[in-house]
């Protein structure tokens, strides 16, 4: 079974390792990691049994696939030996804003390059990752990509031109959901609920509603209408949301994040 090396051992790399091991897609002996000196690799190794090393050659030489999971701003300062060490290997990057063309300059002899945008729910295996490849993927490499990103949750293939929009919707999207949940909690407190009860009601309402949409496959507008009685309580609340252009605000939010992703990618 092909071995996977992780350049970086932070939250997302740890989530991938946890998912690969939990799904028994890889064994600890098939995985290795390093870090930039912050101790995360040693902590991951101690917790999971994967190898940790500060020696780049020892990390990459036995591996068939290299996962870039360091901080995006660290890409330009990576050890120049990586270009040769990664020759003939599949390189998968989860570095936000780093385009395939930029990765190709750092890894000119890679077998293929994949750019992916996961999101934070991947930390519990409930994420969704979008990815694109530099060139057509061989079936075996596609299986590796599906296994690595599948460790975080669901996976979709997309064109690179659409990855900025993916960033605006699902990459940044969890923050919008967290903010909405916090607002729902605070509104409950304003309506007279104790904060702990308001927090529980808000969290479970968001969680349950998302599960209902996902499991039934029903359009959100249909589910909304099923809750809404003419001139009832839900109707009153929805009218206020419409008056404040709630959908317009969310649209502007996503477009702002998408535009910023485009700017960052241009600098990459």
pLDDT given for residue 82 in this prediction = 92
Percent of the chain predicted with pLDDT > 90: 91
State yes or no: pLDDT of 76 exceeds 90.
Answer: no
Report the CATH number at residue 182: 1.10.3730.10
Average pLDDT on 231-250 reads 97
CATH number of residue 58's parent domain:
3.40.50.720
Average pLDDT for 247-267: 92
Convert the pLDDT of each residue in 9-26 to its tens digit: 999 999 999 999 999 999
Same domain as 201, residue 102: no
pLDDT at residue 151 greater than cutoff 90: yes
pLDDT higher than threshold 90 for residue 216: yes
- Are 109 and 218 found together in one domain? no
47 within a domain of the structure (yes/no): yes
Q: Can you tell me the mean pLDDT for 82-100? A: 95
**Does 165 reside within a domain?**
no
Instruction: With respect to residue 122, please indicate whether it lies within any of the assigned structural domains.
Output: yes
Nearest to 158 by CA among 130, 180, 139: 130
For residue 265, what pLDDT is reported? 84
Q: Report which secondary-structure segment, H or E, holds 113.
A: strand 112-117
Report pLDDT for 123: 94
Structure tokens at 238: 């929805």
Task: Say yes or no to pLDDT of 267 above 90.
Answer: no
Indicate the number of domains in the chain: 2
Give me the chain's average pLDDT, please.
Answer: 95
| Structure confidence at residue 268 (pLDDT) | 56
Q: Do 155 and 177 belong together in one domain? A: no
Q: Is the pLDDT of residue 29 over 90?
A: yes
Say how far apart CA 162 and CA 10 lie, in whole Å.
26
Residue 166, in any domain of the structure: no
Greatest distance between any 2 Cα atoms in the chain: 68
* pLDDT greater than 90 at residue 193: yes
Q: Tell me which residue has tokens 């989530």.
A: 15
CA–CA separation, 41 vs 33, rounded Å?
6
> Domain span at residue 31?
4-159
Residues 133, 32 share a domain: yes
Is residue 200 in a domain?
A: yes
pLDDT at position 68? 96
55 part of a folded domain = yes
Of 126, 159, 192, the domain-final residue: 159
Tokens, residue 57: 């050659």
Bridge partners of residue 91, in order along the sequence? 66, 113
Q: Determine the distance from the C-alpha atom of residue 128 to the mean position of all C-alpha atoms in its chain, rounded to a whole number.
A: 6
Q: Could you give the angle at which helices 195-216 and 220-227 cross, rounded to 10 degrees?
A: 130
pLDDT value at 1 more than 80? no
Decide if 111 is inside a domain.
Answer: yes
153 in Cβ contact with 122 (< 8 Å): yes
Same domain as 15, residue 143: yes
Q: Does residue 92 share a domain with residue 60?
A: yes
What pLDDT does residue 70 have?
Answer: 92
Pair (91, 43) in one structural domain = yes
Other beta carbons within 10 Å of 147 = 19
Q: For residue 263, is it within any domain?
A: yes
* 75, 139: one domain: yes
Is residue 264 scored above 90 in pLDDT? no
Q: Residue 142 in 3-state DSSP? A: helix
C-alpha distances out from residue 79 to 10, 39, 106, 116, Å: 19, 19, 10, 22
- 31 phi, psi to nearest 5 deg: -125, 145
**Is the domain of 182 the same as that of 129?**
no
Looking at the structure, tell me whether residues 15 and 139 fall in a common domain.
yes
Average pLDDT over residues 177-190: 98
Rounded to an integer, the average pLDDT of 112-125 is 96
């Amino acid at each position: 079974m092909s071995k996977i090396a992780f350049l970086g051992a932070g939250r997302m790399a740890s989530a991938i390792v946890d998912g690969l091991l939990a799904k028994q897609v890889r064994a600890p002996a098939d995985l290795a990691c390093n870090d930039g000196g912050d101790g995360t690799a040693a902590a991951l190794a101690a917790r999971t049994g994967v190898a940790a090393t500060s020696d780049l050659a020892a990390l990459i030489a036995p591996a068939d696939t290299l996962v870039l999971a360091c901080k995006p701003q660290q890409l330009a300062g990576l050890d120049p030996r990586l270009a040769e060490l990664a020759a003939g290997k599949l390189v998968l990057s989860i570095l936000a804003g780093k385009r395939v063309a930029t990765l190709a300059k750092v890894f000119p002899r890679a077998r293929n390059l994949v750019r992916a945008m996961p999101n934070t729910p991947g930390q519990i295996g409930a994420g969704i990752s979008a990815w694109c490849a530099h060139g057509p993927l061989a079936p075996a490499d596609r299986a590796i990509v599906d296994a690595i990103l599948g460790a975080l949750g669901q996976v979709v293939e997309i064109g690179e031109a659409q990855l900025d929009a993916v960033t605006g919707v699902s990459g940044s999207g969890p923050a919008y959901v967290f903010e909405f949940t916090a607002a729902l909690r605070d509104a409950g407190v304003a309506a007279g609920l104790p904060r702990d009860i308001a927090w529980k009601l808000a969290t479970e309402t968001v969680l349950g509603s998302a599960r209902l949409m996902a499991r039934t496959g029903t359009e959100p507008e249909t589910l909304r209408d099923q809750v809404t009685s003419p001139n009832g309580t839900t109707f009153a609340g929805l009218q206020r949301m419409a008056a404040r252009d709630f959908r317009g605000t969310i649209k502007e939010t996503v477009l702002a994040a998408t535009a910023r992703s485009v700017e960052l990618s241009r600098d990459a």
